[in-house]
Amino acid sequence: MNSIKIEEILDCTDGKLIKGNREYLVSNICIDSRKALEGGLFIPLIGEKFDGHSFILNAYKKGIKSFLKDENHNIDLNFDDINVIEVKDTTKALGDIAKFYKSKFPINYVGVTGSTGKTTTKDIIHSVLSSKYKTLKNEGNFNNHIGLPLTVFNLNNEYECAVLEMGMSSFGEIEYLANIVEPKIAVISNIGFSHIENLGSREGILKAKLEITSNFKENSILIVNGDDEYLRKLKNKNLNYKLKSFGFEKYNDLYCIRYKMDEKGIYFNCAVYNNEEEFFIPARGKHNIYNAMAAILVGIELNLNIDEIKNGLLNFKSSKMRLDILKNSLLTVINDAYNASPDSMKAALEVLGEYKNNRKISVLGDMLEMGDYAQKGHRMVGKYAKNNSDIILTVGKNSEYIGIQALDEGFDEKNIKHFKSNLEVINYLKKILKANDVVLVKGSRGMMMEEIVEFLNNNNTI
């Protein structure tokens, strides 16, 4: 992070200097006193279970000399060498400072959202752009109103691009992030069922995702999955920005002609503005062709040539617990335990189905935040599981409907089992696993399915 003055922080937060020096330089932003560094600004956030104001003294002892505080809190630090700024809301102030700081770097910003695949899409775009530009991205789950601003503070004069994933669970959240980033290019991977409990319908999800265009101008570009039944309707609308689409259908600006997969990854041919090009990405699953095509379009719009784009795809590495293929001497484990929705379940099950010569076991946990759609969503997964599994194991509560639907579809009842806990699943797997089995493990983050993955990955005796 480049240094900024207390004066600048006062201006962008509409803050009040309670104590200190307006010319003092802040060299980093900190919200966790355990990670405090000298010269930093400590921003005490207020959560449901904690209040960051309780850790201000700890931050001072670590070398922090500048502090924000909420207008409803007092700071009892009787030291002469500190700067204290009062703001109405410390969380909002974090975003205000990030927006100001971001404005110091007039580079190309790419925003990425979608119901499923947004993290992988972001990672692939980052890999592509990094073949030409020094490119920043948010790591892990730093895609919300706290994580994204903290990512922005990693910008410095070396960066030429930034790819920023934007997550949400309710209306207004992506708009808030888009107001900070003001992306020139935005990507929407798809419109699925994630967070439908809060947003009411897929139409509501579409509306929330389109908040990413809140600050768009005539030369701004929205890149979407043109095969998606909701996103493709945008082509018929009178938009005040540019729209580009990708997919398998020929009406898209970029479309996949054919593809093949092997153990190394996916080879796929695309029509790129009347030219056919072959690409390769070291990942599994047809859905990753969509993610890669989004990255290709972003690369084209940011003036990468085809060879640079191909090299970027070649260097892609997927994040942990996202279709991470793990092998030991006995088993192949598809670790997709990071999160789950009907769409991502389908994608993962299709990857499992690619293993034609092995026994295929799907271990599927609850998909959370489905609300009234819970039974319907899990039954949808049952249809996918039936065609891509030899054994279906479910764990949790609503995941039982996966097996019920598979049974309704004609799946053999003796190969369907439901469990209440991950430990029960592990104990059952100990009894049935055979050499060369392929096991998919997937469920929502709250289901902690990585516990099952850890057992499978460390299991060397059957």
Binding site residue list for ATP: 114-120
Residue 117 backbone zone (phi > 0: left; psi -120 to 50: alpha; other: beta): left
Tracing tokens 């691009």 back to the chain, one arrives at 161
How big is the CA angle at 378 (ends 372 and 381), to the nearest 5 degrees?
A: 145
Long-range contacts at 245-253 (CB < 8 A, ≥ 24 apart): 246/290, 246/293, 246/294, 246/296, 246/297, 247/290, 247/293, 248/289, 251/226, 252/226, 252/227, 253/226, 253/297
> What is the token pair recorded at 167?
């997550």
How big is the CA angle at 401 (ends 335 and 395), to the nearest 5 degrees?
A: 40
> What is the token pair recorded at 36?
């405090």
Q: How far is CA 419 from the centre of its chain?
A: 29
* Integer CA distances (angstroms), 108 to 144, 177, 219, in order: 20, 16, 13
Q: Are the CB atoms for 171 and 207 separated by under 8 Å?
A: yes
Q: How many CB atoms within 10 Å of residue 409?
A: 13
Q: Is the dihedral of CA 181, 187, 189, 192 positive or negative?
A: positive
Q: Are the CB atoms for 7 and 83 separated by under 8 Å?
A: no
Residues annotated within a binding site: 114-120
